[in-house]
């Protein structure tokens, strides 16, 4: 039997936690748990999720020690793996991230554009604090991050700490998902080159059982992308990220957003209120069907797949955000990229690209420039770099909009951005 691991969830009060519990139960023979520690700064959410977790595990007959704590250091000490799933400022901050850019006629989205920028400014310092606590109190532990924007966070943590860090996103599985939807092909049979950044990536050289997909198979899979026009996909012969719609269909997606009465964040508030009412019901010991409306698909499978690969020293193919280190020659070595990697107990190593799709080099470079400036601005509390970051982003690039918008973002988030408001 494989060695049992001690797993900690920081941000355990997330509504996504039951996804992870379900996957942990399904993997109990290959990734057994010795202890599960739940940590959050919200005592009420932690109380509810702790109760649900104990009922869920008992309901599936899984005997695991479950610990809850508000103390981050206590949660970190003794853990083999630490999963981070935090949202600094909660959904209230997310709604500001959506609404403020829309006032300026710009996309309001929680990871892309000005909304993702605001979220990064809040999240980077918090994640660096967690990483430094791990370095100090448990340096052998792995941190597996699902907090967004995960690619920008990976760059910040990689540049400013030495912690063992895996930054993940379920989007790395989407091309395989499309082949499964189109043909029922299992994910384990599918491989592809994966080029780009988190939420700005492209999959190509797609293989099924070590053979290239046929033109007909590729065209059929392209029909399941949905968010990006099939004509673009066929011309590029790459499967784009869902988030590429914000670049390739900028006008249409913005119009839709401005015409929709509620933002996604406002919708999520209602969903989460109902979810936590369900989680708090003593009679409930199964994952609610409503959780499917919350989003975040493939979260648990991706995270636990990487954890299992490391814990069991089993070579595993996975898409991870890692330092570039020459994989993409026109990006800095310490820039974070999202790419296919080989994962095992020795770490995470990017796989060699078969080629680099030149049609999207410019877009990837521009967004990476924005990301790097955002990391610097967040760490330094530097308003000039924050403005330059917004000017670098292809969805903004307008000083007359960026300057007042930045002032509003900073003031709205003042309590959560002390680095930008030094005391006298």
307-342 pLDDT, tens digit each: 999 999 999 999 999 999 999 999 999 999 999 999
> Is residue 82 classed as helix, strand or coil in its secondary structure?
strand
Domain CATH code at residue 61: 3.40.50.720
Residue 414 lies in a domain: no
Position 296 scores a pLDDT of 65
In a domain, 69, yes or no: yes
89 in a domain, yes or no?
yes
Structure tokens at 15: 């509504």
- To which residue do tokens 């209602």 refer? 270
Average pLDDT along the chain: 96
pLDDT of 229 reads 96
CA nearest neighbour of 266 among 102, 94, 58? 94
DSSP collapsed to 3 states, 355-370: CCCHHHHHHHHHHHHH
At 354 the pLDDT is 75
Instruction: Enter the pTM of the model.
Output: 0.96
Residue at 215 is within a domain: no
The pLDDT tens digits for 145-159 are: 999 999 999 999 999
pLDDT band at 190 (very low <50, low <70, confident <90, very high): very high
Question: What residue spans of 2-106 are helical by DSSP H?
Answer: 17-26, 43-59, 72-76, 90-103
Q: Is the pLDDT of residue 355 over 70?
A: yes
Residue 132 lies in a domain: yes
For residue range 372-392, list pLDDT tens digits in order: 999 999 999 999 999 999 999
Share of the chain above pLDDT 90, in %: 93
Indicate if the pLDDT at residue 290 is higher than 90.
yes
CB 24, CB 31: distance < 8 Å: yes
Whether the per-residue pLDDT at 2 is higher than 90: the answer is no
Is residue 68 one of the residues assigned to a domain?
A: yes
Strand order of the sheet with strand 316-323?
A: 65-69, 33-39, 5-10, 81-84, 142-145, 164-167, 316-323, 336-344, 347-350
Q: Are 361 and 213 in contact (CB under 8 A)?
A: no
**For the residues 289-316, what does the mean pLDDT come to?**
90
Q: Is the pLDDT of residue 297 over 70?
A: no
- Residues 6+ away with beta carbon under 8 Å from 247: 200, 363, 394, 395
Give residue 160's region: left, alpha or beta (phi > 0; psi -120 to 50). alpha
Residue 383 has a pLDDT of 98
Write the burial class of residue 18 (CB in 10 Å: 0-12 exposed, 13-18 middle, 19+ buried): buried
The pLDDT of residue 201 is above 80: yes
238-258 mean pLDDT = 96
Structure tokens at 345: 């107990």
pLDDT exceeds 70 at position 424? no
Q: For 71, left (φ over 0), alpha (ψ -120 to 50), or beta? A: beta
The boundaries of the domain holding residue 19 are 5-169
Averaged pLDDT, 107-135:
98
Whether 54 contacts 113, CB under 8 Å: no
Residue 22 lies in a domain: yes
List pLDDT tens digits, range 62-102.
999 999 999 999 999 999 999 999 999 999 999 999 999 99
Domain assignment present for 33: yes
d(CA 171, CA 177): 10
| Residues carrying an active site annotation | 243
The structural domain count of the chain equals 1
Q: Which pLDDT belongs to residue 294?
A: 86
pLDDT digits (tens, 9 = 90+) for 7-51: 999 999 999 999 999 999 999 999 999 999 999 999 999 999 999
């Amino acid at each position: 039997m494989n060695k049992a691991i001690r797993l900690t969830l920081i941000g355990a009060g997330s509504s996504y936690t039951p996804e992870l519990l379900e996957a942990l139960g399904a993997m109990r023979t290959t990734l057994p748990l010795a202890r599960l520690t739940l940590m959050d700064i919200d005592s009420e959410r932690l109380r509810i999720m702790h109760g649900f977790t104990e009922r869920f595990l008992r309901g599936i007959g899984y005997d695991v020690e479950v610990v809850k704590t508000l103390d981050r250091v206590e949660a970190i000490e003794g853990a083999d793996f630490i999963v981070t799933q935090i949202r600094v400022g909660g959904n209230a901050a997310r709604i500001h991230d959506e609404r403020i850019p829309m006032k300026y006629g710009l996309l309001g989205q929680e990871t892309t554009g000005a909304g993702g920028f605001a979220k990064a400014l809040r999240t980077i310092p918090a994640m660096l604090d967690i990483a430094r606590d791990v370095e100090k109190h448990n340096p052998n532990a792995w941190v597996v991050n699902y907090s967004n924007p995960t690619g920008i966070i990976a760059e910040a943590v990689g540049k400013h700490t030495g912690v063992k860090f895996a930054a993940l996103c379920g989007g790395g599985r989407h091309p395989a998902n499309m082949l499964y939807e189109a043909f029922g092909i299992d994910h384990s049979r599918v491989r592809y080159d994966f080029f780009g950044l988190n939420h700005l990536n492209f999959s190509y050289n797609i293989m099924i059982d070590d053979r290239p997909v046929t033109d007909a198979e590729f065209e059929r899979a392209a029909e399941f992308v949905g968010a990006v026009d099939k004509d673009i996909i066929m011309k590029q012969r790459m499967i784009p990220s869902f988030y590429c719609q914000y670049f390739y269909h900028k006008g249409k997606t913005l119009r839709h957003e401005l015409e929709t009465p509620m933002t996604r964040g406002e919708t999520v508030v209602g969903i989460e209120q109902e979810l936590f009412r369900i989680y708090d019901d003593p009679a409930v010991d199964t994952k609610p069907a409503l959780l499917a409306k919350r989003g975040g698909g493939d979260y648990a499978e991706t995270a636990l797949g990487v954890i299992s690969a490391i814990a069991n020293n089993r070579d595993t193919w996975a898409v991870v955000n890692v330092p570039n280190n020459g994989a993409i020659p026109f990006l800095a070595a310490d820039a974070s990229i999202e790419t296919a990697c080989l994962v095992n107990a020795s770490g995470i190593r990017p796989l060699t690209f078969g080629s680099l799709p030149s049609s999207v080099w410019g877009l990837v470079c521009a967004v990476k420039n924005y990301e790097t400036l955002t990391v610097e601005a967040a760490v330094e509390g530097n308003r000039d770099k924050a403005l330059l970051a917004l000017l670098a982003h292809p969805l903004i690039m307008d000083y007359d909009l960026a300057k007042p918008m930045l002032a509003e973002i900073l003031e709205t988030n003042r309590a959560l951005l002390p680095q930008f408001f030094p005391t006298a």
